[in-house]
Amino acid sequence: GQNIDQPTEMTATEGAIVQINCTYQTSGFNGLFWYQQHAGEAPTFLSYNVLDGLEEKGRFSSFLSRSKGYSYLLLKELQMKDSASYLCAVNQGGKLIFGQGTELSVKP
Amino acid sequence: ETGVTQTPRHLVMGMTNKKSLKCEQHLGHNAMYWYKQSAKKPLELMFVYSLEERVENNSVPSRFSPECPNSSHLFLHLHTLQPEDSALYLCASSQAGDSSYEQYFGPGTRLTVT
């Protein structure tokens, strides 16, 4: 079956670093997406990993290990506006299988 | 208008009503998707249209009926829904044939079935 796991909730402090983990067991794999979704808004694209390793994009980085079925999203220099839900999604030939999302709260 | 738009943003309907959700994309994409997002549950893919043909139907009940008249528009027709169908319905679009291309989402329609 398809299984994608993320922590349900996380809390971090403004200015700190937070790592959101995602583990997956799926029947097919063509890459992994991370999306950010603020309450009441559309999910927006953050990153895409198809090969093992770290992809850095400003304050956000995403890591993938295909052999371990594992990814993480790293957010540095946290800001209050980073409070949102972060969705991990496995790409199966264009079809996305989503985890339940991690609700991140950034506190002052 | 830019990106992916959805109307209405909020909808309350009775179980015997018929209504339609509309999605429009202004990105020149040729694949469109319907997702259901319920509280505390993962986004669930419902339907996929690629080049205006339905290529995925994820065991969705027949009370949900999609329609894709052209590559820019997607509809979800609703009929005799159940209270458990209350959720956020998200539309997305992407470029068919390039599985690495991200999907762009609309803001969703918040549906409440009474």
- Reported as a single tens digit per residue, the pLDDT across B46-92 is 999 987 788 777 789 999 999 999 999 999 999 999 999 999 999 99
A44 touches chain B (CB under 8 A): yes
Give the other-Cβ count within 10 Å of B96's Cβ.
Answer: 19
pLDDT band at B1, cuts 50/70/90? low
Taking the C-alpha atoms of residue A41 and residue B37, their distance in angstroms, rounded to an integer, is: 12
pLDDT, residue A28, reads 85
Q: Which of A45-49, A65-69, B47-51 has the lowest mean pLDDT?
A: B47-51
Q: Which among A42, A94, A100 has CB closest to B42?
A: A100
pLDDT, residue B99, reads 64
3-class SS of residue B85: helix
Partners of B94 on chain A (C-beta within 8 Å) are 94
Select the more confidently predicted residue: B102 or B89: B89
Nearest CA in chain A to B98: A94
Residue B94: what are its φ and ψ, rounded to 5°? Answer: -160, -175
- Please give the mean pLDDT across all residues of chain A: 94
Q: Which of A58-72, B15-29, B86-100 has the lowest mean pLDDT?
A: B86-100
B40 touches chain A (CB under 8 A): yes
Mutation site, B9, B23, B37, B43, interface A, largest A CB count within 10 A: B43
Taking the C-alpha atoms of residue B78 and residue A32, their distance in angstroms, rounded to an integer, is: 32
- Indicate yes or no: CB of B45 within 8 angstroms of CB of A96: yes
- Taking residues B90-100, report their average pLDDT: 83
pLDDT, residue B96, reads 78
3-class SS of residue A84: strand
Task: Summarize pLDDT for B14-32 with one digit per residue, the tens.
Answer: 988 899 999 999 999 999 9
- Indicate yes or no: CB of A95 within 8 angstroms of CB of B40: no
Taking the C-alpha atoms of residue A82 and residue A105, their distance in angstroms, rounded to an integer, is: 8
Q: Which among A33, A42, A95 has CB closest to B107?
A: A42
pLDDT, residue A15, reads 97
Residue B113: what are its φ and ψ, rounded to 5°? Answer: -105, 120
Residue A17 host element (H or E)? none
B31 touches chain A (CB under 8 A): yes
Bridge-based pairing of strands A84-92 and A95-98 is antiparallel
Long-range interactions of A82-86: CB distance < 8 A, separation 24+? A82/A106, A83/A38, A84/A36, A84/A37, A84/A38, A84/A39, A85/A36, A85/A37, A85/A38, A85/A39, A86/A6, A86/A20, A86/A34, A86/A35, A86/A36, A86/A37, A86/A46
pLDDT, residue A95, reads 83
